[in-house]
Amino acid sequence: MKTNFHAFALGLAGLVLPSLSSSAQAPATRTCASMEALAAHMAADPALAQRMRDIDNQALQYAAQSKGTAQRTMASVTIPVVVHVLYSTAAQNISDAQIASQITVLNEDYQKLNADVSKTPSAFAGLAANVNIAFTLAKRDPTGKATTGIERKSTTITSWGSDDRMKSTATGGLNAWNSSQYLNIWVCNLGEGLLGYAQFPGGGAASTDGVVILTNAFGRNGSAQAPFNQGRTATHEVGHWLNLRHIWGDASCGNDGVSDTPTQQAPNSGCPSFPKRSCGNTTSGDMFMNYMDYTDDRCMYMFSTGQSTRMNALFATGGARASLKTSLGGTPPGGPGPGGPTPGGPDDTQAPTTAVTGPSSASASFTATFTDADNVGVTNRFYQPLEWRTDEWRANRGNGFYNDNFGNAALHPDYVTGLDDWQGTWAETAAGTLRQSNTTATNTGLSTFLSQTAGGNAYVYNFAAKVNSTSGTRRFGLHLMASSNTLRERGNSYLVWFSLDQQTVSIIETVDNVLNARVSAPAVLTSGTFSDYKVLYDTSTGTIQVFQNNNLVASWTDTTPLTSGTYISLRTATADVEFDDLKVYKSRGASATITVGSANTNDVRTSGTPGAKIKSLVKDAANNWSAPGNLDVNITIAAARLATATPPSTAGATSVYPNPVMATDGQFTVGYSMAAAGEVTIELLDGQGTRLARMVRRQAAGTHQTTVPAQALAKQGLYFVKLTTPGGKSQLIQVLKN
């Protein structure tokens, strides 16, 4: 659906709401009072509408700059939950087990681990998203004391409404814990025929922020009653708390603020048959299995990618719920075990933190300063400067950094597929992932240039991967420090290799294009689920550490370590595999100089608002990883221009001038040299590798110039000139349009 719905939200304050009959039992059809509660809060607080507009604008900006990031498996945040149980009968005083079952459901549904996601119709299967959010019962209360995350209160109030009385001790309920550090869930005997309601981000006071659920619709055991006994009421209401609207937009053919959910006329109830069409959505029909519809628990089992992105925006820098990322509510006061953990030891689970500071804008090189903290101390520090290229964040591969979120329609031209029997079938998907779909190829490859050097450098190679194949030999991995992108085993390299059929992870060294297995360790690998993988390689010590979902699963030290590499290469064997968010960080100190300018050697070579993003990642001695720290910087570059108009003299070499190309330039020139007569092809590609223009010339041996109209570069950003000479040899030259 379209994403501008501010007018609709503001109009809610004037709605006449229907009265609902009181009932102590779960209603026959789903009912939610979140929008009614929002209307009441809007009427009481004139500033609320602007706050929510600001939050929605931040979500739109995050979505525009985060293409392809929504499918990562590692949770972007683990949210501490406190459950406030209010009861007037013994049956309403639900058990700890029933509460635990609800936390389990939230983790399954928000990480796409629910078994019934397999029921998603093929029309929507590519949109079903892992939201990357985890939940845990609080282990530390706001005063710093240990807690179970559950508090209970006996009350004489037999029925509660949507007026927030259960959220205050003054009105017979229980006060909220600090809502910037906890998700508050009140479980009580809701009347008015309600299953629950939630407060939107910015949608009310901090003292009322949270979710309310009917006792008989909470969790999936104990007092939970069909058809709402699978815990999906909380999944639905937490979706509101994370800024999602009802999928039909609370209006006939309305707007839910998300672009990949079909427009639908009204809420669906029960369990409709697919397809159920309305509002002209004849291609796919209603997405009635979405958690934000009104169907029964057993018939809802997915969030869309757009919904995932909208929720994750809350935890980005400046997001309305970003403070939850640093909450200590989920960490015991003394840590696990009697007397607490040994700091930095194997039972130390406290993650380090990292933050980046620097200028808000720059037109020249600047210093990024990093603030790292841990209960004992940070042992490994990494950073990654990114530059905004038209519609995505990329990095300078020549400086040892890499970033691709695979949010484009086509592979970038800097990738090289394997040769002959190890080529594979590689393509980017509509869901924003990279997929290798050939299940018979025993060795596929997709390589890209990346300068990896010694000099005390360590690198983190980070990616997400999911194996779609469910049987047979299923393997995938990554070559790092590779010397070749054409040799079958990548010349000299290290290969980190995951085997689902053997449930192992291996570290393999390739020496002179021969595989040499060095270590193998057990691993829990599951088809159909994305996992996060980090490979840390220290060129000084030769140590390789492999992490799955931030848990160390394998390590090995090479006594004669590789000190340079020219490529990284993804690899699969007889498996349909999807990859996402391929990133490479490099080691750093307490600060780093970020070089800015149009020269190819700079970290940031393009202007933008923002034009640079500096990311930080750290690890402690107990192998706990931080969440990434980020700094956005607006960049303005006064473009340096290539002055010479003389083509190169070296046979086969290529140059483009002026470069960058300015808006005032009528044309630019491609200069090249040919050792022998023949046909030369010049292609102009955009930043995603889409061909914009093609020229074929038959030339004699010697140096040549071909002019290209500057109008071919329609807007500012990064382009490529691809020159193919006789014999099929191709060269790729970057061109900037300012």
Q: How far apart are CA 546 and CA 385, in angstroms?
A: 23
User: If DSSP codes are grouped into helix, strand and coil, which group holds residue 571?
Assistant: strand
Tell me the DSSP string of 159-170.
Answer: -B-SSSGGG-GG
Cβ-contact 576, 469 below 8 angstroms: yes
Q: How far apart are CA 521 and CA 517, in angstroms?
A: 12
Cβ-contact 86, 191 below 8 angstroms: no
Neighbouring residues of 46: CB distance < 8 A, sequence distance ≥ 6 = none
**CA distance readout (Å), 656 to 312, 644, 686:** 41, 10, 15
Which among 259, 274, 209, 269 has a CA at the least distance from the CA of 237?
209
Q: How far apart are CA 246 and CA 295, in angstroms?
A: 12
Count of alpha carbons within 13 Å of 18, Cβ hemisphere only?
7
Neighbouring residues of 34: CB distance < 8 A, sequence distance ≥ 6 = 197, 198, 199, 200, 237, 240
Neighbouring residues of 564: CB distance < 8 A, sequence distance ≥ 6 = 452, 453, 454, 481
In b/e form, how buried is each residue of 699-719, taking b as 16+ CB within 10 angstroms?
Answer: beeebeebebebeebeebbbb
Burial group, residue 677, by CB count within 10 angstroms (0-12, 13-18, 19+): exposed
Residues in the chain: 738
Q: How far apart are CA 442 and CA 423, in angstroms?
A: 10
User: If DSSP codes are grouped into helix, strand and coil, which group holds residue 672?
Assistant: strand
Cβ-contact 441, 574 below 8 angstroms: yes
Q: Check if 237 is active-site.
A: yes
Catalytic residue among 237, 387, 428, 489: 237
Cβ-contact 553, 547 below 8 angstroms: yes
Contacts within 8 Å (CB) and 24+ apart, 559-562: 562/481, 562/492, 562/493, 562/494
Burial group, residue 272, by CB count within 10 angstroms (0-12, 13-18, 19+): middle
Cβ-contact 505, 520 below 8 angstroms: yes
**CA distance readout (Å), 333 to 146, 175, 645:** 6, 22, 68
Neighbouring residues of 101: CB distance < 8 A, sequence distance ≥ 6 = 219, 220, 221, 222, 231
**CA distance readout (Å), 369 to 281, 537, 595, 629:** 50, 23, 14, 11
Cβ-contact 183, 135 below 8 angstroms: yes
Q: Tokens 């500096």 appear where?
A: 614
| Category of 434 on φ-ψ map: left (φ > 0), alpha (ψ -120 to 50) or beta | beta
Q: How far apart are CA 527 and CA 678, in angstroms?
A: 50
Helix (H) or strand (E) holding 80: strand 77-87
Q: How far apart are CA 205 and CA 6, in angstroms?
A: 20
Q: How far apart are CA 276 and CA 694, in angstroms?
A: 46
Return the DSSP state at 302. B
Which among 142, 193, 184 has a CA at the least distance from the CA of 164?
184
Q: How far apart are CA 239 and CA 250, in angstroms?
A: 15
Cβ-contact 397, 533 below 8 angstroms: no
Which among 283, 291, 244 has a CA at the least distance from the CA of 267?
291
Q: Name the residues annotated as catalytic.
A: 237
